[in-house]
Amino acid sequence: MNRPEVVSDPAEAYRRVRSMQQAGRSVGLTPTMGALHEGHLSLVRAAGERCDASVVTIFVNPTQFGPAEDFDQYPRTLREDCELLAPLNVDFVFAPHVDVMYPAGMSTSVQPPSVAEPLEGVCRPGHFAGVCTIVLKLLQLLPADSAFFGQKDFQQALVIQTMVADLNVPTEIRVEPIVREPDGLAMSSRNRYLSADERERALSLSRCLSLAEQAITEHDADSQRVLEIMEQELRQSQVSEIEYVAVADPKTLSEFSGPIDRDAVALVAARVGMTRLIDNRLIRISAQQA
């Protein structure tokens, strides 16, 4: 099993994708910021299953980090990442240098769609403009047939799907399920920042989503009650700061008020120690219950 070749030159990456397509191979793209874990690898596997060729990008995108965020500390582990990708039949890894993606003087940025406004949009101003800009750039450089994203970043997936539809980008966007640790913690590159004690407290994020699901599906709880239940669980576990809990429409992210009578997504963002974590769960309301 060979580690995949790493390409850093955008023109070379474009040429490779186009020549694979011209040879009749469909290309699946998995954009990541590296520090790969099973969540990322599940996307790469999905790309391998659905497409003839698979390309992974590894790029810690500065424009999606706020000034007080962890861009400098973000783990950069290209060698280990390539080891993890070795068994997955990846055609190449695109890992460009930051100055190549953002040459001095570049000032263009994508205005994100309105679904970027609530939740993460409130807590992380400018984040989705950075996400949209880099994803659009990557889809131009690597004009894949399909691109794979994780439900772990629920709002991000929705923002990207909307942008791609609005701007007529001809790549199909696929969203894959959240991969969790056996105890329920959603896998994240940021989990490696957690101390043992913080990791224990971090379990309250997935627990509060289970409680929300139970309250909605078993007890017909209304949205206010569900939010209280989620907050109570997070407080009991002494997370350092609750940034938001929400129960929203999975297509528009508009929050429920009152009864939850159709499919919903429960979302949470909280700090555990210094580490900011997010998680979510789709909650299906059966036709009978509704």
Residue 178 Cβ vs ligand AMP, minimum distance, rounded to whole Å: 4
Residue 153 Cβ vs ligand AMP, minimum distance, rounded to whole Å: 4
Which is nearer to ligand AMP, 43 or 158 (by Cβ)?
Answer: 43
From 150, 173, 199, 260, residue interacting with ligand AMP (rule: CB under 6 A)? 150
Question: Interaction with ligand AMP in 229-258: which residues (CB under 6 A)?
Answer: none
Which is nearer to ligand AMP, 17 or 158 (by Cβ)?
Answer: 158
Q: Which residue has the tokens 């959240």?
A: 178
Residue 24 Cβ vs ligand AMP, minimum distance, rounded to whole Å: 27
User: What separation, in Å, do the N-terminal and C-terminal C-alpha atoms of the chain show?
Assistant: 51
> Does the footprint of ligand AMP cover residue 57 (CB under 6 A)?
no
DSSP-assigned letters across all residues of 5-18:
PEE--HHHHHHHHH
Which is nearer to ligand AMP, 158 or 226 (by Cβ)?
Answer: 158
Binding mask 169-208 for ligand AMP (x = CB under 6 A): -------x-xx------xxxx-------------------
CA 207 – CA 267 distance, rounded (Å): 12
CA 63 – CA 245 distance, rounded (Å): 25
Q: Is 219 left (phi over 0), alpha (psi -120 to 50) or beta?
A: alpha
CA 276 – CA 270 distance, rounded (Å): 6
CA 223 – CA 255 distance, rounded (Å): 9
Residue 228 Cβ vs ligand AMP, minimum distance, rounded to whole Å: 27
- Please tell me whether residue 276 adopts helix, strand or coil conformation: strand
Which is nearer to ligand AMP, 138 or 229 (by Cβ)?
Answer: 138
Sheet of 264-272, strand order: 241-248, 264-272, 275-283
> Does the footprint of ligand AMP cover residue 63 (CB under 6 A)?
no
Tokens of 147: 């691109």
Annotated catalytic residue: which of 37, 40, 97, 219? 40
DSSP-assigned letters across all residues of 165-183:
HHTT--PEEEEEPPPB-TT
CA 54 – CA 169 distance, rounded (Å): 19
From 4, 17, 29, 40, residue interacting with ligand AMP (rule: CB under 6 A)? 40
Please confirm, yes or no, whether 40 is among the known catalytic residues: yes
Residue 104 Cβ vs ligand AMP, minimum distance, rounded to whole Å: 25
Catalytic residue numbers read 40
Contacts with ligand AMP, residue ranges (CB under 6 A)? 32-33, 39-40, 42-43, 149-150, 152-153, 176, 178-179, 186-189
